[in-house]
Structure 1
Amino acid sequence: MRTLRNFIDGTWTDSRGDVLLDLVDPATEEVLARHPGGSAEDVDAAVAAAVAAHPAWAATPVGERVARIFTWADAIAAHADELVELECREMGKPLGIGRTFLDGAVAGLRAAADEALSYDFEELIEHPDGSRTRILRHPLGATAVITPWNFPVTAVLAAIGPLLAAGNTVVLKPSERAPLSVVRLLELAEFPPGVVNLVLGDARAGTPLAEHEQIRLVHFTGSVATGRRVGAAAGEQLRRAVLELGGKDPVVVDAGVDPVATAQAVAFGAFVNTGQICTSMERIYVHRDVAEPFVEALVAAAESFPVGNGLDEGVVLGPLVDRRQREIVVRHVEDAVQKGAKVRTGGIVPAGKGFYYPPTVLTDVDDSMLVLTEETFGPVAPVVVVDSFEEGLERASQSKYGLAATVYTDNSDHIDAAARIPAGVTWVNQWQGGGPERLYEPAGDSGMGATGARAAYDAATRPSSVHIAAA
């Protein structure tokens, strides 16, 4: 049985804690590995290494820093199949879906690093009186990246590129529910000792890292409840936090669209990765004119997805990450049914090993139900019929969350109106559209801190001005 270790100051080392956790394959319920529960001592050692490494890394020319990141990206791409398989074994993501997202993550890492080459780390302003002002953007120092289990590799690569390229050092803590692929990710990295450090564990590692007085920025992706604690700790320490938290993303389906094609697109957005995506489609508002054929096509699409072990060829939906996550999904569906919702397909826990749950379509849902108000994070598509696009837009906007939203319409005025939904990202007629130029900040309880493109470098640096009087 393999026992995972921390990576601190360029060396793989045993945890100083005395707790080991089992990592369970969600498809078979077999134990894959054991890993540390974490400790404050581990965190202290990793942060000390990051602090010590920072001056030399910050002084490294930006072109050299970017080149090292590109070398890492090349290594990740060369080992993509291996990383995808590890993700599948630890959290259930099917190989085909995993490869698509990992390839996108590597491209995103390269694009984010490349942004550093054109970013204005220094700007000179000439004033009419002959004086000058230098505006300098300094790296912050040692930073923390705390990532979730649903996209173990992708989440790390999305966060870490601008931090490293800007000259910061990093202490990384992946979710205790999916650390295996991240360990391999660090094995492929070749940075100077202390530039990237890895601490494994649950809250026993996450809490002291988020609260550590020498960490200058925390980039956290995870639940709203934990994000609030991370944000509070950041406020106490007077340092930055970038928080990407939960979502309850709406979809508005307008009259006039092709209901079958749109339903197929929505099925993918609701069920891919077994619904375990922060931007999964979790609230579907459909115009009455197309509701009946849309629901029929959505049910047909749900029933067409092969469910099984993600290692098997052709599987589209794997298991949920663990029993705890499946219990949340079951509770949300049972709550809806008890309050009058109709199950059009799915809704039954299958017998046998593995934390499987079928793609499920619900109708006759309302805002008294958990499936419309709380993040489900599972393969459940609740459908609400609305009488107008305006009603759909209004209902979509009524949520404490504001991560992303999707609108399907062929009406140009309605396309313009889609921007009124309070969300960090709104997609029109293509879920997950856009490229690396995108920047956003979540709304409401979905987080805070702008990220993406140049905004990520603004967050990763501290500006200062030096004014030079005229000669």
Structure 2
Amino acid sequence: MKRLRNIIDGTPAEAANPQWRDVVNPATERVVAQIPVGSAADAAAAVESARRAHPAWARLDLADRLAHLSRIADNLERHVRELAELENEEMGKPIPLAEQFIAGGIAALRHNIERARSYPFIADVTAPGESGRTIVVREPVGVVGLIVPWNFTVTSILGALGPLLAAGNTVVIKPSEKAPLSAARLIELFELPPGVTNLLLGDARAGKPLAEHKDVKLLHFTGSVEAGRSVGTAAAARIQRAVLELGGNDPVLVDADVDVAATAKAVATSTFINSGQICTSSERIYVHRAVADEFIAALVAEAKTWTMSDNPYAQGLGPLVDDTQRAIVRAHVRDAVDRGATVLCGGEQPDRPGYFYPATVLTGLTSDMRIMKEETFGPVAPVTVVDSFADAIDLANATSFGLAATVYSSNPENLRRCTEINAALVWINEWQHGGVNTIHEPWGLSGMGASGAAASFDAATRPMSMLYSSTTNVPSARI
């Protein structure tokens, strides 16, 4: 049995708590590894390692830190398949999909390396006519707790790590207890100075003391609303900052003027890819009555092409991460049916090994159903027919969440109204696309704290102003 260990000061470290928990392959239901359950002592050791490493890392020239990060990106390019296979083993993601997103994470790391070269870590903001000079210096915050979800472990780490490390912070990385294999291998591949990145394994017994540790100056968390509320509360209690990306119940708005077949295919992808286990999966679909019948028929036809498979190289539906997650999906569908919804395809748990659930399309939804109020995180497409685009916006906003939304329309007036949608990201006529300068902040229960582009560097630094009198020679700055 493979037993993973924390990585502290650059070397494997034994856990203080002698208990272990299983890591299960969700396609086979077989135990593939074990990890320590975690403890406050483990969290303290990881934070202390990061605290000791911080001064030397922060004093390095920016060019030297970026050289380290560039070597990481180069090395990871040679290990994409290996990391993808580990993500498949720990949470069931098809290997081709895992490779695609891991490559995207490496690209994000490279982009942030380049952005760091022009980010104003030191800026002369002296206004014309002012006496003296004002220099704003953005210093690293110190030790960062990076807590990542199980659905995109590698991509989540790489997406956050560039600004954090480039700015001079050190990091304790806490992966989900459901999917630690890829994180453990990823950190082995970093080859950074000891203590700059540390791996903390375990469940809430490791995560809670990390969030509450007095020396953690920034918590960067992606996960559920319940856990995010606990993390945010811990940060607030210490008067420290947190960046939280939490759940979603993302709407899709389908207007009357769409290419129905193409739109149904796109919506099926955004609903069923990774078995619906994406924070920005399409979970509520509002379609204009003028095209509703045709769209629903096309969506059902598309859903039937998303077949369940335990072949790790297949592009269809892999398993859900565990039976707990499948039980949530099953309960949401059952609740909807009990309240009058109609199942057009799927909707029944298969009798086979693995935590599989079929691509499912529902109609006849009402606002009191759990599937319309809560995050399902599974391969289920609930479709509601609306009489107008305005009605679609109203229903899209009838939620406590606000992570992302997708709009399919060519109507200029309706497109102008998309700013009325309560979401951090609004994709127009293509799901999951976007430029490198995207900045977004979740709305409502979906989180808080802006991220993306310069905002991620802002979150990773603390601005201070150096105010020099007119008689002072300003020293040359070192970044």
Deviations 1:421-453 (A, max 9, x none): 011100000100103211100000000000011
In the alignment, which residue of structure 2 is the partner of 1:228?
Answer: 229
Query: In 2, Cα distance between the equivalents of 1:436 and 1:90?
Result: 30
Please give the per-residue CA displacement for 1:111-168, whole angstroms capped at 9, x wherever unaligned: 1222111000011133414410111100000110000101111111111111001000
| 8 Å CA contact 2:39, 2:205 repeated in 1 | yes
Aligned-partner Cα distance in 2 for 1:377–1:276: 5
Q: Which string of whole-angstrom CA distances, capped at 9 and with x for unpartnered residues, describes residues 377-428 of structure 1?
A: 0000000000001100111111100000000001112112112101110000
Counterpart of 1:259?
260
Determine if the alignment matches structure 1 residue 375 to structure 2 residue 385.
no
1:389 maps onto 2:412 in alignment: no
Query: What amino acid sits opposite 2:406 in the alignment?
Result: T
The verdict on how the C-alpha distance between 1:407 and 1:202 changes in structure 2, with shifts beyond 3 A counting, is: same
What is the rounded CA distance, in whole Å, between the counterparts of 1:72 and 1:297 in structure 2?
A: 44
State the identity %: 53
In the TM superposition, what are the counterparts of 1:151-170 in structure 2 within 5 Å?
Answer: 151-170=152-171
Deviates more, 1:68-77 or 1:32-41: 68-77
Name the CA distance, whole Å, in 2 between partners of 1:314 and 1:306. 10
Distance 2:391 2:352 in 1: 43
Cα distance in structure 1, aligned partners of 2:345 and 2:88: 26
Structure 1 residue 69 displacement after superposition: 1.0
1:83-102 to 2 correspondences below 5 Å: 83-102=83-102
Equivalence for 1:309:
310
Letter of the 2:374 partner, please give it: E
Is it true that 1:429 corresponds to 2:429 in the alignment?
A: yes
Alignment check: 8 A CA contact 2:143 2:170 kept: yes
Whether the aligned pair in 2 keeps the contact of 1:329 and 1:377 (CA below 8 Å) is yes
| Aligned counterparts of 2:130 and 2:230: Cα–Cα separation in 1 | 49
2:326 counterpart SS class: helix
Q: What code does the residue aligned with 2:24 have?
A: V
In structure 2, what is the equivalent of residue 195 of structure 1? 196
Aligned amino acid, residue 465 of structure 2: S
Q: Could you tell me how far apart the structure 2 residues matched to 1:290 and 1:240 are?
A: 46
Residue pair 2:15, 2:38 contacting (<8 A) in 1 also: yes
Offset at 1:314?
A: 3.1
- More displaced stretch, 320-329 vs 151-160: 151-160
Provide, for residues 263-296 of structure 1, a one-character-per-residue CA deviation record: whole Å limited to 9, x for no partner: 1000000010000000000000000000001000
1:407 corresponds in structure 2 to 407
Structure 1 partner of 2:211 = 210
Gap runs ≥5 in structure 2 = 472-479
Listed one character per residue, the Cα deviations across residues 26-85 of structure 1 (whole Å, up to 9, x for unaligned) are 000011001110011111111011001101100111111111111111111110001001
Please say if 1:59 is aligned against 2:59: yes
Could you tell me how far 1:362 is from its partner in structure 2?
A: 0.1
Distance 2:114 2:40 in 1: 35
Specify every segment of 5 or more residues in structure 1 that has no aligned partner in the other structure, as ranges. none
SS of 1:333's partner is helix
Please say which of residues 95-104 and 346-355 is displaced more in the overlay.
95-104
Which residue identity is paired with 1:303? K
CA contact (8 A) 2:97 2:315 kept: no
Aligned residue type for 1:4: L
Aligned to 2:289: 288
Task: Give runs of ≥4 in structure 1 deviating > 3 Å.
Answer: none
Q: Counterpart of 2:144 in structure 1: which amino acid?
A: T
2:440 matched residue in structure 1: 440
| More displaced 10-residue stretch of structure 1: 125-134 or 281-290 | 125-134
Greater alpha carbon shift after TM alignment, 368-377 vs 68-77: 68-77
- Length-normalised TM-score, structure 1: 0.99
Greater displacement, 350-359 / 432-441: 432-441
Corresponding residue of 1:4: 4
- Matched residue SS, 1:238: coil
- The residue aligned with 2:322 is 322
Distance 2:17 2:468 in 1: 52
CA distance in 2, matches of 1:466, 1:305: 59
Q: Select between 8-17 and 287-296 the one with higher mean Cα deviation.
A: 8-17
- SS of structure 2 residue aligned to 1:351: coil
Give the match's secondary structure for 2:368: coil
Distance 2:311 2:59 in 1: 44
Q: Is the partner of 1:347 in helix, strand or coil?
A: coil
Residue pair 1:310, 1:317 contacting (<8 A) in 2 also: no
Q: Which amino acid aligns with 1:161?
A: G
SS in 1 for 2:33: strand
Deviations 1:213-237 (A, max 9, x none): 0000000000001111111111110
State the aligned residue count: 470
CA distance in 1, matches of 2:185, 2:165: 19
- Look up the equivalent residue of 1:95 and give its one-letter code: I
- Residue in 1 that maps onto 2:70: 70
- Could you report, residue by residue, the CA deviation over 1:321-376 in whole angstroms, capped at 9, with x for unpaired residues? 00000000000000000000000000010002100000000000111111111000
Letter in 2 for 1:163: L
Contact kept in structure 2, 1:244 and 1:446, CA below 8 Å: yes
| TM-score, normalising length: structure 2 | 0.97
Q: Which piece of structure 1 moves more, 363-372 or 129-138?
A: 129-138
| Conservation of the 8 A alpha-carbon contact between 2:307 and 2:358 | no
Question: Is the 1:42–1:205 Cα contact (8 Å) retained in structure 2?
Answer: yes
